[in-house]
Amino acid sequence: MDPEVTSQEPEEIAPVEAAPEQEQEQETAPVEYNDDELKAIVEAVIYITEEPLEPKQIALALRQDAKRVDETLARLVEEYSSASRGLQIREVAGGYKMATKPEHHEAVRQFVKNLKPGFKLTSAALETLAVVAYKQPITAPEIMEIRGVQGGGVLKTLLDRKLITTAGRKNVVGKPILYKTTKEFLVHFGLKSTSELPTLKEFEELRRLAFTEDEVPEGTEGPASAAEAAEQPEPAGDAAAEA
C-alpha cells in the first residue's frame, strides 16, 4: 500500500513589527541641522509666533538638544542687539519674543497711529491696573477702597483686554474674587516677571508711552495718577464682600 499522504497548510509568517522602543527612538531622534540652519529656523519661529517662546518649547518642537537651542538663542540675541537692527530678540515672560527696540518706539508709534486706532485705556482703568500690579492679588472691594470710587466696569475692561485675570477667592466673609496681572500684561510692558515692575515714577512714564489717555468719565474721580493710586495704603479691613 502506498503510504498515506497528508497535506499541511503552510504556516503564515507574521509581519515583523518594530518594537515600541524603536518607534519612540525614531520619533525623538534629533533632526540634524548645521548651526546656520538652526539659527535661521529659530529666528523664523520666533518671528511668526505672537506669544514668547520658551527654549524648551523650541527644543521639543524642532527635536534639538536644549543646550544647543540656548546657544542659538544667545547668538540671535547678540546679533539683533546691533545698532543697525530695528528689531530685537529678548527674553520676556519666561520666553523669547521679537519686538521693536525702545529707542525706535516713538517713531514706530507715530507710524502705527496712521494705520489703526491706538490701544486706549481711560485714566480710571490705568489707575486700577496700577493698583492690581503693585498690590496683587487683590479684591474688588480693596481696589475700591484704595481708589475711593466704584470700579466694576473698569475691572471688566481690564479682563476683556486680558491685562488682569481672576486668582481664586479670598478667605474672608463673602469670599470676594481676587485679581492679578496676566502674562499679556508682562508682554505688553516687556517684563520677565512682576519682580521687574518699575518704580511708581517709572510706571507713570510707561503709562504715558504705552497708552493713550482718555477723559475720565464724570463720577469716577479718584487719585490724580496711577502712581498715587498704587501708593494708597492697604485697605483697613477685609470684611467687605464683592457684590
Cell numbers for 144: 475700591
**Of the given ranges (17-26, 78-87, 146-155), which has the lowest mean pLDDT?**
17-26
Domain finish residue from 50, 78, 103? 103
Predicted structure pTM score: 0.47
Give the chain's domain count: 2
Determine, yes or no, domain membership for 47.
yes
Domain finish residue from 103, 130, 161? 103
DSSP-assigned beta bridge partners for residue 179: 138, 166
Determine, yes or no, domain membership for 177.
yes
Same structural domain, 198 and 130: yes
pLDDT digits (tens, 9 = 90+) for 5-41: 455 555 555 555 555 555 444 556 778 999 999 999 9
At residue 78 the predicted structure's pLDDT band, cuts being 50, 70 and 90, is very high
Sequential DSSP letters for 13-55? PPPPPPPHHHHHHHHHSPPP--HHHHHHHHHHHHHH-SSPBPH
Mean pLDDT of 56-82: 95
Same structural domain, 151 and 192: yes
Mean pLDDT of 83-108: 91
Determine, yes or no, domain membership for 44.
yes
Taken in order 204, 157, 91, 105, the sign of the CA dihedral is negative
Tell me which residue of 187, 130, 183, 186 sits closest to 154, measured CA to CA.
130
> Beta-carbon neighbour count of residue 239 at 10 Å?
10
Mean pLDDT of 143-172: 88
pLDDT at 196: 82
pLDDT at 59: 94
Same structural domain, 225 and 140: yes
User: Strands 120-121, 212-213: parallel, antiparallel or unpaired by DSSP?
Assistant: parallel
Determine, yes or no, domain membership for 114.
no
Q: What is the mean pLDDT of the chain?
A: 78
Is the pLDDT assigned to residue 234 strictly greater than 80? no
Is the pLDDT assigned to residue 208 strictly greater than 70? no
Same structural domain, 199 and 129: yes
Question: Which DSSP state fits 53?
Answer: B
User: Residue 205's domain is classified under what CATH number?
Assistant: 1.10.10.10
pLDDT at 121: 77
pLDDT digits (tens, 9 = 90+) for 63-72: 999 999 999 9
Question: CA gyration radius for the chain?
Answer: 28
Contact 164, 127 (CB under 8 A): no
State which residues form the domain around 168: 120-231
Residue 105 CA from chain centroid, whole number: 20
Cell numbers for 4: 498515506
Determine, yes or no, domain membership for 215.
yes
Mean pLDDT of 157-185: 93
Same structural domain, 68 and 166: no
When mean pLDDT is compared over 68-77, 120-129, 193-202, 222-231, the highest value belongs to 68-77
Same structural domain, 97 and 131: no
Q: Cell 481696589 sits at which residue?
A: 143
Same structural domain, 210 and 131: yes
- Residue of 151 and 132 predicted with greater confidence: 132
Determine, yes or no, domain membership for 111.
no
Mean pLDDT of 178-202: 83
Question: Which DSSP state fits 19?
Answer: P
